[in-house]
A and B are shown apart, each in its own frame.
Chain A
Amino acid sequence: MHKILEHSIIGPDVHLYRFDAPDVARYREPGQFVIVRISEDGERIPLTIADVDKDEGSITLIVQSVGKTTLELAQKKAGDSIPDICGPLGEATHIEKIGHVLCVGGGIGTAPLYPVAKGMKDVGNKVTSILGARSKELMILEEQMRSASDELVITTDDGSYGDKGLVTDAIQKLVDSGEKFDQCVAMGPPIMMKFVCLLTKKLGIPTLVSLNPIMVDGTGMCGGCRVTVAGKTKFACVDGPEFDGHEVDFDEMMARLTMYKDYEKESLEMYSEKHDCKLGVVGREK
């Protein structure tokens, strides 16, 4: 059992959980993820690790409630426990000094991006970060990202905070102003990563993306997480989760994420009704 040490709401339906998980924390590196099961009848869902505290033996996960499992998790309080956290899984991010790194985070994707940006800065890279969100209230980890970056650009779709526009607009603007990047790391919704990659490919900036497809075991056993990279089938759980974004078939990946859409809806509705709670309520006051 893994005790919840902290549960705070950091945006609309966006929750930060700190779990007691010493075995997971011990050897974890940036870029890795865990598979979590929150009850005895629960499904196994992959979640990227935002942070660890090796001394405390804890891991931090930032989770947006989007379905039954994440909504049920959001009902839990500090002091409650969940049965299973498996990991750390996947390959770690390859962090090395390469020069100027552009970190692009979209919405909740900023959570897994933060340890990578921090790692990149710690080994001596210049880090420029762009954080995008639909609106101000969905912007997370701004302060942490500011401390891990030499420069930080904020964009929102509705212009409620920072520059109005998309992260791709901000990338283009930086490049137009003469900035040169040796590497881009993009983490966020698949559609954002797709368009960032289309742009950085044109601009000739190598780009890493972190994929979060549907998984069951996370050890290469089921193949549910298969993605096409450079024309070959890869398993995101063991070959990834990070890949060369210019080679990823994002359209296939996005389609595969919808495989259980109808089932998920049914399960969420059943839970919402039974427990009198729903998505789109928590964290709006911020």
Chain B
Amino acid sequence: MKTKERLQLPPIDMPEQDPKVRVKNLNEVPTGYTPEMAMAEAKRCIQCKRPFCTEGCPVGIDIPAFIQLIEDGDFKGAIRKMKETNLLPAICGRVCPQEEQCQLVCTVGKSKKDPALSVNIGRLERFIADYEREHGEVELPPKPEPTGKKVAIVGGGPAGLTVAGDLIKHGHEVTVYEAFHKAGGVLIYGIPEFRLPKAIVQKEVDYLEKLGVVFKYNYVVGKTTPMKVLVEENDAVFVGTGAGLPRFMRVEGENLLGVYSANEYLTRANLMKAYSFPEASDTPLMKGKTVVTVGGGNVAMDCARTALRMGAKRSLIVYRRAEEQMPARLEEIHHAKQEGVEFRILQNPTKLIGDDKGWLKQVELLKMELGEPDSSGRRSPVPIKDSEFIEDIDVMIVAIGNSPNPLIPATFKELECTNWGGIIINESTGQTSVRGVFAGGDIVLGAATVILAMGHGRQAAEAMNMYLNSGRWSDLDEALSQERADVR
């Protein structure tokens, strides 16, 4: 087929559950491509000589290659190609912001001057991962020669899982230390079932276990074992403990009963399955009649949509800036609106009001307008004087971000950190100030995305492998760029 013909093919929509039906269940909202749909979508890729999409991917997936294999109907080949660079495609296909990465720079979208018309790379990625999972056993790569080197990974989230997968393939002995009773980090406690089914995350963890990765659960490094001991007992350590310290607004009444951090609300709902309380879960979560979520990111959308599924009559998003300034993905905002989430734009809570027993009853909101651009370049919200008004509510979820989890930095002072608590690393290797210790993901970035954490993990794993094999540390950066140049 000629490029010109390919460019004329319409994008293939992914079927979705009806909004009215899906707010009453926890099943995934988009139901995925069929093989026919995937092959039709794959035909839209024009196989660029210089694939901008691959350059736009934080883990550098060979996107044209896997799409070609889909077009040819070789789904197994496509998944094999994918797993050369990305071990967790079922997850990335669902939660990556493709519209800001591969699909933003896709030539097809550019030629039509609309990134929304780019090849649906994320949906194709999801399709091949789901196809493999649904069609019998996942293939295992051949077992590598053991190197005899031991690696400890602190935190079983997206960054840690990526490092584990990469290093086990090089023959190192890998142990993941996870504080929760399940691995996956934000993938299991944060992102809701209707966006990322937990069974999929579990399958990916099972896959790593089959490759030989050992998982130690309920293991809080810094408490269960001092970080220092882990460093002494291993040849290398990766710290990927994430941004697990919720920010609150610091307004009056924030400790009233009914006020949650997004982390707590989502952890109760997702990891602890509060939606099945009391029949199949012992963890309760306040249902609420009117639930207000404060914030404009993906996490806020997840909270507001979860509240509807928990049975809230009204679910409101309160955001102090304008809608176009919301950091959430457009798709998430769209889904939330479809489901009936009310958007309160340019409003900010100033006070929470409770009854004499301490239960949240009302929120005082202040209206805002856009003023001059601030340091982030966005027009900053300015309060409109005397515009306060009261709204009756019974649950509030604070989703205004997280800071790096302080547990490791606080108990292992040797690690150099920024003044906001992030671990300082060499950007291209993930090396910290302590020999043999690497870090990546949200503990370095602050609250970012799953794929950026995986990108960090990928990069750190490459550097760790070189360090483990060569013992080079002070010039690891140069050695690595030399090797990367040689490969090219």
Contacts and interface: CB of A to CB of B under 8 A. Distances in A.
A176 interface: no
A163 interface: no
B217 A223 contact: no
Contacts of A169: none
A87 B406 contact: no
Interface string B271-286: 0110011111111101
Interface in A209-229: 216-224, 226-228
Interface string A67-89: 01100000000000001111111
Interface residues of B, number: 43
A233 B248 contact: yes
Contact of A87 (B181, B223, B245): B223
A262 to B, nearest CB: 9
A19 B358 CA distance: 37
Contacts of B181: 37, 83-84, 86
B448 interface: no
A96 interface: no
Given A42-B282, A217-B267, A220-B406, A233 B223 contact: no
B225 interface: yes
Nearest to A88: B223
A259 B359 CA distance: 8
B11 to A, nearest CB: 39
A27 B226 contact: yes
Contacts of A83: 181
Interface stretch (B67-75, B77-85, B168-176, B256-264): B256-264
Interface string B200-222: 00000000000000001111100
Interface in B334-382: 357-358
Given A217-B179, A217-B180, A219-B179, A266 B278 contact: yes
A175 B418 CA distance: 50
B267 A223 contact: no
Interface residues of A, number: 46
B407 interface: yes
B246 A222 contact: yes
B67 to A, nearest CB: 38
A35 B246 CA distance: 20
Contact of A267 (B179, B216, B254, B284): B284
A23 interface: yes
B244 interface: yes
Interface stretch (A115-123, A147-155, A179-187, A250-258): A250-258
A260 B284 contact: yes
B275 to A, nearest CB: 12
A252 B255 contact: yes
A263 B255 CA distance: 20
A89 B245 contact: no
A24 interface: yes
A222 B267 contact: yes
A23 B177 CA distance: 12
B268 interface: yes
B98 interface: no
A280 B406 CA distance: 42
Listed residue (A23, A32, A42, A221) with the most chain B CB atoms within 10 angstroms of its CB? A221
B257 A259 contact: yes
Contacts of B244: 217, 219-221
B370 to A, nearest CB: 31
Nearest to A227: B255
A255 B357 CA distance: 7
A264 B179 contact: no
Given A217-B180, A221-B405, A256-B257, A84 B226 contact: no
A224 B358 contact: no
Contacts of B283: 43-44, 216
A282 interface: no
A41 B276 contact: yes
A69 B357 CA distance: 26
A132 B272 CA distance: 36
B224 interface: yes
B479 to A, nearest CB: 36
Listed residue (B219, B225, B358) with the most chain A CB atoms within 10 angstroms of its CB? B358
Contact of A222 (B218, B224, B254, B263): B263
Contacts of A68: 278, 282
Nearest to A263: B284
A24 B357 CA distance: 38
Nearest to B218: A86
Contacts of A263: 277-278, 284
A188 to B, nearest CB: 22
A88 B179 CA distance: 11
Contacts of A54: none
A86 B267 contact: no
Contacts of A220: 244-245, 405-407
Contact of A223 (B226, B248, B286): B248
A259 B223 contact: no
Interface string B1-16: 0000000000000000
A141 B276 CA distance: 39
Interface in B231-255: 244-246, 248, 254-255
27 contacts: A23-B216, A23-B218, A26-B224, A26-B225, A27-B224, A32-B223, A43-B272, A43-B283, A44-B272, A68-B278, A83-B181, A86-B219, A86-B220, A88-B223, A89-B220, A216-B264, A218-B220, A220-B244, A220-B406, A220-B407, A221-B245, A221-B246, A224-B260, A238-B407, A256-B358, A264-B284, A267-B282
Which 8 A-B pairs rank lowest in CB-CB distance, beginning with the nearest? Answer: A255-B358, A263-B284, A86-B218, A222-B264, A221-B244, A43-B282, A267-B278, A223-B261
Interface of B: 179-181, 216-220, 223-226, 244-246, 248, 254-255, 257-258, 260-261, 263-264, 267-268, 272-273, 276-284, 286, 357-358, 405-407
Interface of A: 23-24, 26-27, 32, 35, 37, 39, 41-44, 68-69, 83-89, 216-224, 226-228, 233, 238, 252, 255-256, 258-260, 263-264, 266-267, 270
Given A220-B405, A267-B278, A270-B278, 16 more contacts: A32-B223, A41-B281, A86-B219, A87-B218, A87-B224, A89-B223, A220-B245, A223-B246, A224-B260, A233-B254, A238-B406, A255-B357, A259-B258, A260-B286, A263-B284, A267-B277
